[in-house]
Amino acid sequence: MRVGVPRETKNNEYRVALTPAGARELHLRGHEVLVETNAGVGSAIENDEYVLAGARIVSSADDVWGESDLVLKVKEPTSEEYRQLRSGLTLFTYLHLAASRETTEALMSSGINAIGYEMVQTDDGRLPLLAPMSEVAGALAPQIAAHAMLKPNGGRGMLFGGVTGVYAAQVVVIGAGASGMRAAQIAAGMQARVVLMDNNIAALAAADHFFRGAVQTVVATTDSVERAVLAADVVIGAVLVRGAKAPHVVTNEMVAAMKPGSVLVDLAVDQGGCFEDTRPTSHDDPTYRVHGSIFYAVSNVPGAVPATSTVALTNATLPYAVALADRGFETATATDRALAAGVNVAGGTLVAEAVAAAHGFEWQPFGG
């Protein structure tokens, strides 16, 4: 099979979907790997490294998309890539279709097979391809918030961990999944006062065991979230509903009553955001103000550390990419329930119920 890796076109997206080590694995299994020239440069990977791994460098995105049977990407297709979508092609990438009606319509009208990394789910409920990037985003969130809190950047002018005799920042993390847990861990390591909230008691119990009192855990209700947000200097939103739009847990009314210069980082922006006032931003213009608070809502946070993110992503996705290349879309999804769970569009038919609900589309169960 021909496996294509185009250069990412999203604003300031420096990751690439496959490392040379991943390309070598595919090559050794008899597949031809096509990599767009300089696709890996943003992740400190040169063309020659792919060539040594057995891949072929091609000069344009048109060559990758046009010649490939399976395309591996990091982010959902941008509008300039819609013309590349076609029947008979399988696309394997982060899709987050519940947040984009336009992308959903483009995939459906093309007749493509599209599998979303974020939807691949094992029998025990894990999301193995979402987890590594969630961990990266969670690790970055407190660093991002600390930078935004600096007075020259418009923040409150607080030191995250405080100093002797002075309160540290109050950080509220909403969501105790992979990104929320990592955000709480890093924030606590920066000596902030951290509150971790979730509506899943079992998740909070696991967090209590992990943090051993270093982080306060609180059940997330409308009342408790409001109280926590109003007392916070930083709020990190890490709410996830698999495949669906994120619920708005922080309202405009809450933000209006927050401390001036407070910072809100929405890690759920790919799924529409868990703050009412969230709108997607980019790395070159990451923040905006709502009332007196600073919002950070970059939709590809891990793209800021591509040398780490690209390796972590390939480590997770490679076994599934190999399965798709070895067996083809139909057989691979028929024999791997985790992979089948990731299918959003099959032959142009929408098969993801949560995406259909987000946009009011009809859908059909996937029979992979």
Which are the catalytic amino acids?
A: 96, 270
346 phi, psi to nearest 5 deg:
-125, 115
In whole angstroms, give the CA distance from residue 22 to residue 92: 15
Q: How is residue 360 written in tokens?
A: 């009011």
Counting beta carbons within 10 angstroms of the beta carbon of residue 195, is it exposed (0 to 12), middle (13 to 18) or buried (19 or more)? buried
Side chain identity at residue 21, one-letter code: A
Q: 216 has which bridge partners?
A: 195
Of 67, 68, 33, nearest in space to 47 by CA: 33
Cα-only R_g, the chain: 21
In whole angstroms, give the CA distance from residue 269 to residue 300: 9
CA dihedral 106→108→5→273, nearest 10 degrees, is 70
Q: How is residue 279 written in tokens?
A: 């709108």
First to last CA, the chain: 20
58 phi, psi to nearest 5 deg:
-115, 155
Residue pair 74/313 in contact by the 8 Å Cβ criterion: yes
